[in-house]
């Protein structure tokens, strides 16, 4: 039988954070990226829940979580503090942690800021934030132009996106590795579209990217000599923009003491398009580890 799903929202760290919980076993927190919500795990989470208690959560500013004002409020450090507080409130002082895209950057920050809470770290289809911005290439700037478009002062990107938010965000889903809308489960796509239709969500997502340049880059610069010591998995789409531009595992090697790296078929959104392969890679990494 499929694992029963508990859905709710908790007031933690000054924010309302929406979450779902399913399964039984060691706790595993899964974090989504831009421009998605926790529903991106719709197909992969039930597979992982056969072995773990799986918590999926909307990052602040996204989905059904609260939408704080200002770029600093959308920093990865702030997002990480929310998720740590959520897991503590749910009764998990220590847990496995995995994140895709912005969720992966949040997970990396959480592992740096609260190492005692993170039993293992999985980052999906990202390279370190500081490296991407500090050594930006023409190839990456063209593929990831949205980092700099969304970071423009308000309300320029908000107004431009507001003219047709579905067209803009669907163009994001179809980029960074050649996806088709049919790759995305219909339930997840409907949840994404509901979020995009909310101007407060669009504004918060823009502030997420403003924070990357104004806040996160500097936070990461101060931590360049710090290692994540827990077991770590680097997953990336074999056909994604990051795999074309970088040796993804090499970008993480100086930052992760105990690293395993693996590619998954597909582009940036391989979790949606290849959920079984994604779950298999995560389980191959997590199942042999001791419980948190």
Give me the pLDDT at residue 71, please: 97
In this prediction, what percent of the chain has a pLDDT beyond 90? 97
φ, ψ of residue 10 to 5 degrees: the values are: -125, 145
Tens digit of each residue's pLDDT (9 = 90 or more) over 67-82: 999 999 999 999 999 9
145 vs 138: CA distance, rounded Å: 10
Q: How many residues does the chain have?
A: 292
CB 62 within 8 A of CB 32: yes
Region 110-115 average pLDDT: 98
**Has this prediction a pTM greater than 0.85?**
yes
97 vs 27: CA distance, rounded Å: 9
| DSSP state at residue 212 | I
Give the domain ranges of the chain: 5-286
Region 34-40 average pLDDT: 97
In this prediction, what percent of the chain has a pLDDT beyond 70? 99
255 vs 287: CA distance, rounded Å: 23
57 vs 22: CA distance, rounded Å: 12
Give me the pLDDT at residue 177, please: 72
Shortest CA distance to 282 belongs to which of 51, 42, 34?
51
Decide if domain 5-286 falls under CATH 3.40.50.1820. yes
Strand pairing class (15-22; 27-31): unpaired
CB 193 within 8 A of CB 51: no
Averaged pLDDT of the chain: 96
Region 243-271 average pLDDT: 97
Q: With cut-offs at 50, 70 and 90, classify the pLDDT of residue 139.
A: very high
* Residue 237, pLDDT above cutoff 60: yes
Where is pLDDT greater, at 123 or 1? Answer: 123
Give me the pLDDT at residue 257, please: 98
* Residue 2, pLDDT above cutoff 80: no
Region 252-262 average pLDDT: 98
Tens digit of each residue's pLDDT (9 = 90 or more) over 260-273: 999 999 999 999 99
284 vs 271: CA distance, rounded Å: 16
Give me the pLDDT at residue 175, please: 83
CA distances for 64 relative to 40, 57, 87, 286, angstroms: 14, 9, 17, 29
Tens digit of each residue's pLDDT (9 = 90 or more) over 5-21: 999 999 999 999 999 99
Catalytic center residues = 101, 268
Give me the pLDDT at residue 4, please: 82
Give me the pLDDT at residue 176, please: 81
């Amino acid at each position: 039988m499929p694992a029963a799903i508990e859905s709710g929202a908790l007031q933690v760290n000054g924010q309302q954070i929406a979450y779902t919980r399913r399964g039984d076993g060691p706790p595993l927190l899964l974090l989504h990226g831009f421009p998605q919500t926790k529903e991106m795990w719709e197909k992969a989470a039930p597979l992982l829940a056969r072995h773990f208690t799986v918590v999926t959560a909307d990052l602040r500013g996204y989905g059904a979580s609260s939408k704080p004002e200002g770029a600093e409020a959308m920093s990865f450090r702030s997002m990480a503090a929310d998720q740590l507080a959520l897991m503590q409130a749910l009764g998990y002082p220590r847990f496995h942690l995995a994140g895709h895209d912005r969720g992966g950057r949040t997970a990396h920050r959480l592992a740096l800021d609260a190492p005692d809470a993170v039993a293992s770290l999985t980052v999906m289809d990202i390279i370190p934030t500081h490296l991407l911005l500090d050594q930006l290439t023409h190839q990456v700037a063209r593929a990831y132009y949205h980092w700099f478009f969304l970071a423009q002062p308000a309300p320029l990107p908000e107004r431009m996106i507001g003219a047709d938010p579905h067209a803009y965000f669907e163009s994001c889903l179809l980029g960074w590795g050649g996806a088709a809308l049919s790759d995305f489960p219909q339930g997840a796509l409907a949840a994404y579209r509901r979020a995009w239709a909310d101007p407060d969500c669009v504004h918060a997502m823009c502030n997420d990217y403003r924070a990357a340049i104004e806040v996160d880059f500097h936070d990461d610069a101060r931590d360049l000599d710090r290692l994540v010591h827990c077991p770590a998995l680097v997953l990336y789409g074999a056909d994604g923009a990051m795999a074309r531009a970088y040796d993804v595992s090499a970008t993480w090697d100086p930052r992760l003491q105990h690293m395993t790296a693996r590619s998954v078929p597909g582009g940036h959104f391989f979790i949606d398009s290849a959920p079984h392969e994604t779950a298999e890679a995560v389980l191959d990494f997590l199942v042999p580890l001791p419980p948190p």
